[in-house]
A = this chain, B = another copy of it.
Amino acid sequence: MMNAYHSLTERFKRLSRLEHLSAIAGWDMQTMMPSGGSQARGEALAELSVMHHEILTQSSTGEWLDRAAQESLDDDQRANLTEMQRHYTDAALLPAELVEAKALAGSRCEQAWRQQRIDNDWHGFKQNLKPVVELSRQEAKLRAAVQGSTPYDALLNLYEPGMTSEQLDTLFGDLTQWLPELLQQVVASQPPLPALPATRIFPISQQKALAETVMQLLDFDVTQGRLDVSAHPFCGGVPSDVRITTRYDSAEFLSALMGVIHETGHARYEQNLPKHWAGQPIGLARSTAIHESQSLFMEMQLGRSQPFLQRIHPLICQHLTAANALSLNDLVRQVQHVSPGLIRVDADEVSYPAHIILRYEIERSLINGEVEVEDIPELWDDKMQRYLGLSTAGNYRDGCMQDIHWTDGSFGYFPTYTLGAMYAAQLFNAMQTQLPKVHEAIKIGDFTPVFQWLNDNIWCHGSRYPVNTLIRQATGEILNPRWFKQHLQHRYLGR
């Protein structure tokens, strides 16, 4: 008779194949699908997720999990079982009606938001947001009861297993102590942004060729992935076929280029997840914040550093006719320019955490029932003034209506961006300490030791260890925000 653990691996393999189809059809929807295809595609993807949920939460899954816990397993198998249990519990504890109601309310809110945002229509938007918040609170309460946590922490755990708002308060509280002042200092002391002549045009075909050259430099495996175009850049697909996207603006090349470097960071993590665990939960990326740490390692730590920019400077001059006379110095100043603004996705790495902390504080209070949807605009404006010195009063479009995350109830996601930035700084610092000659290698464009280090410390482990163990093994300590502070001080104040 097949043991229960083996039955579970077969079931999760089947589930991973459904996830494969969902990833590819989802990628297609964002990159290739003509407008007329959206209704049928939406229905097909919804059907797939219903089937996925049905298979995952069959009563036999629960029985096998109980039996497998008694079986003789090695450490890897036990770690896999832990992940299986987590996925099962996360899915099974919600009644199907709540899942469906939330999906419907979220999809209604998101659809309407696309136009309401353009119209600055807070009044209309909040009518749709209220049921999403209400259903997310119900979800959070059910999850919290099982986990013995606060409601918000239960949602946070879906993206960052093991993280608590107590920890976040400490980490972000520390940031709010020194970041606003550091930001002021940088803005006051940085050289003015070198102006680009208004007439410059950077043809998309040249930008694409440059992006592909830089992806190659970063060892993106083109036999296991592609680069395409979408309105909102993302990294999708499956480990053996990673699909990254960007969007080009012919008036400006740096945001597409830096975006591609960012997504390449996500992609290399996926492409280098352990092949022998493919299709099993242990073979998946560890968490949302660790995923973001890999993209920010590549974009912020490596990609926006002076040595890396020195390496790609000739490639930029070579590929982009309109940038053939761009000096290295001007390139660095462009890439490292700091300028607080209203929009999160356009933010530099110094102001970015303020955008996140603001959202974290509001969504936590919202889910824990301490504030209501009505209160959001005032809270938003208060915190924007406090953290960035900017006002969004009356400007909902560039204020609390700018992001997609809340529209479909993804509360608990935002903190992972800044956790990712902190992990990235800590990892980069540890790598430098462990490999004293790595800077020399980077300067001459040899990234092999960098990628080998990431592979050995992060990529190859999949979900084998809890986040804290993974980070302690790699850096000698759990998450410590000092490395992020040190990085910002070093890069932007030269300390």
A residues neighboring B (CB under 8 Å): 14, 17-18, 20-21, 24-25, 28, 32-37, 39-41, 43-44, 47-48, 51, 221-226, 237-241, 278
Contacts of A36 in B (CB 8 A): 221, 223-225, 240-241
A221 to B35 Cα, complex, angstroms = 11
A238 to B28 Cα, complex, angstroms = 13
Task: Decide: B37 and A238 in contact? CB cutoff 8 A.
Answer: yes
A-B contact pairs, 8 of them (CB 8 A): A14-B47, A20-B40, A20-B41, A33-B241, A36-B225, A37-B238, A40-B238, A40-B241
A388 to B237 Cα, complex, angstroms = 49
Task: Decide: B34 and A47 in contact? CB cutoff 8 A.
Answer: no
Chain B nearest Cβ from A209, distance in angstroms: 16
Contacts of A24 in B (CB 8 A): 24-25, 28, 41
Contacts of A21 in B (CB 8 A): 21, 25, 44, 48
- A contacts with B: majority SS: helix
- Most chain B CB neighbours (cut-off 10 Å) among A18, A39, A222, A241: A241
Contacts of A20 in B (CB 8 A): 40-41, 43-44
A48 to B52 Cα, complex, angstroms = 12
Chain B nearest Cβ from A141, distance in angstroms: 32
Task: Decide: B43 and A17 in contact? CB cutoff 8 A.
Answer: yes
A221 to B226 Cα, complex, angstroms = 27
Chain B nearest Cβ from A110, distance in angstroms: 21
Contacts of A28 in B (CB 8 A): 24, 28
7 closest A-B pairs (Cβ-Cβ)? Answer: A37-B241, A36-B224, A17-B47, A20-B44, A17-B44, A36-B223, A40-B240
Task: Decide: A17 and B225 in contact? CB cutoff 8 A.
Answer: no
Contacts of A17 in B (CB 8 A): 43-44, 47-48
Chain B nearest Cβ from A265, distance in angstroms: 19
Contacts of A34 in B (CB 8 A): 222-226, 241
Contacts of A32 in B (CB 8 A): 32, 226
A43 to B21 Cα, complex, angstroms = 10
Contact pick for A223, options B35, B221, B223, B240, CB 8 Å: B35
Task: Decide: B51 and A51 in contact? CB cutoff 8 A.
Answer: yes
Contacts of A239 in B (CB 8 A): 40
Contact pick for A240, options B18, B37, B47, B225, CB 8 Å: B37
Task: Decide: A241 and B47 in contact? CB cutoff 8 A.
Answer: no
Chain B nearest Cβ from A484, distance in angstroms: 35
- Most chain B CB neighbours (cut-off 10 Å) among A17, A28, A51, A226: A17
A240 to B39 Cα, complex, angstroms = 9
Chain B nearest Cβ from A479, distance in angstroms: 33
Chain B nearest Cβ from A242, distance in angstroms: 9
A238 to B130 Cα, complex, angstroms = 36
A239 to B36 Cα, complex, angstroms = 10
Q: Which chain B residue lies CB-closest to A50? A: B14
Contacts of A48 in B (CB 8 A): 17, 21
Contacts of A237 in B (CB 8 A): 37
A36 to B225 Cα, complex, angstroms = 8
